[in-house]
Structure 1
């Protein structure tokens, strides 16, 4: 999982002076910065192996910020976006935030305000990465289960109010003692300490749903 030192700030603005000033100011603060003069250039040149956040001018020609935001979603570019604009209104900012933007800043803005937004974006990104890593590990653990253990686990998760050995055994046509054995193995292989934890983690990860 990446840490903040490996994250990049992607600045997308058609104004040469703004790109240059933001790149210089953020670079002095220790951020890795890449700049793009248009939304199209970003889509063409962005390396999906690089993570970070996007500082995006709302009012660019050809493809504006909101349109790029939609293209990024369609192409699974999951980077937090900070919109900046010199002439944005409330409807635009509301729509951008609803679509997942971190913030919508009107020019001129204080450098400290932008830095706070970047740190918020990085924090959000790292949390998402950590969750995704946890879910991948959960799936890997599930794949290690035997077919019968998977059946037991699935029944428990989909029927959280009927997790007694008798209920599970009746459904799977096996003895309660056999259920106890499989349930213990499921918890061990999945790295869980209780049935409640198993249900909670699988539901959050969308396993079986």
Structure 2
């Protein structure tokens, strides 16, 4: 499932199936599940699309699934639907990043609007996570001393001459130049400005 998909989790068969049919009639790709575990068994936490999640389910309820996905650094946006969730539950869900907390019965047009918002947000989250992982991988190539030099450059963009860095780190300017060259080679940039642009605007 790589295309944008609406993943519906609801233990009420009638609600789940009716909602799936309605969204499919509107041209959406839908996959539905009767409980949280069957969803987790089949769908990646960074799947493309969004999750329409019932709050009140046995075993793992909606908020517990949300907590789990947050711990997994999931990029899948969540829209809660509920027949009996109250204000505390909706506040907790939205604070944890949910797009909305819709009370059943809800207007389908409201849900489709929220799905559009969720898809857009999900794409941004996936791009940001990919960038974080890429930067972490690049930074992982550095030695401890190279990373120390990099940290100084990022913290002090106005004081990045080899002499200034050497004085701060108590090493020679020539050693700084060697470290700087290795850093730039390992992360794939050619100048200090590019280095700052790469790491200084991490999401």
Could you tell me the TM-score, scaled by structure 1's length?
0.76
**Aligned twin of 1:9:** 6
Shift of 1:95: 1.0
Query: Which residue of 91, 94, 98 corresponds with 1:97?
Result: 94
Query: Which residue of 101, 104, 109 corresponds with 1:107?
Result: 104
**Aligned twin of 1:129:** 126
Q: Residues of 2 paired with 1:75 and 1:163: CA distance?
A: 37
**Aligned twin of 1:32:** 29
How many residues align? The count is 201
Query: Which residue of 152, 156, 159 corresponds with 2:149?
Result: 152
**Aligned twin of 1:173:** 171
Contact in 1 for aligned 2:50/2:119 (Cα 8 Å) = yes
Structure 2 counterpart SS, 1:6: coil
Contact in 1 for aligned 2:48/2:76 (Cα 8 Å) = yes
Contact in 1 for aligned 2:48/2:123 (Cα 8 Å) = no
Q: Residues of 2 paired with 1:189 and 1:74: CA distance?
A: 31
Structure 2 counterpart SS, 1:35: strand
- Cα separation, partners in 2 of 1:195 and 1:42, compared to 1, 3 Å: same
Shift of 1:39: 2.4
Q: Residues of 1 paired with 2:139 and 2:35: CA distance?
A: 44
Map 1:177-192 onto structure 2 (within 5 A). 179=176, 183=180, 186=183, 190=187
Q: Residues of 1 paired with 2:121 and 2:95: CA distance?
A: 16
1:133-180 CA-to-partner distances (Å, cap 9, x unmatched) read 2233334544666887655323212444542332113235223x7756
Could you tell me the TM-score, scaled by structure 2's length?
0.77
Shift of 1:6: 1.0
Q: Residues of 2 paired with 1:38 and 1:138: CA distance?
A: 36
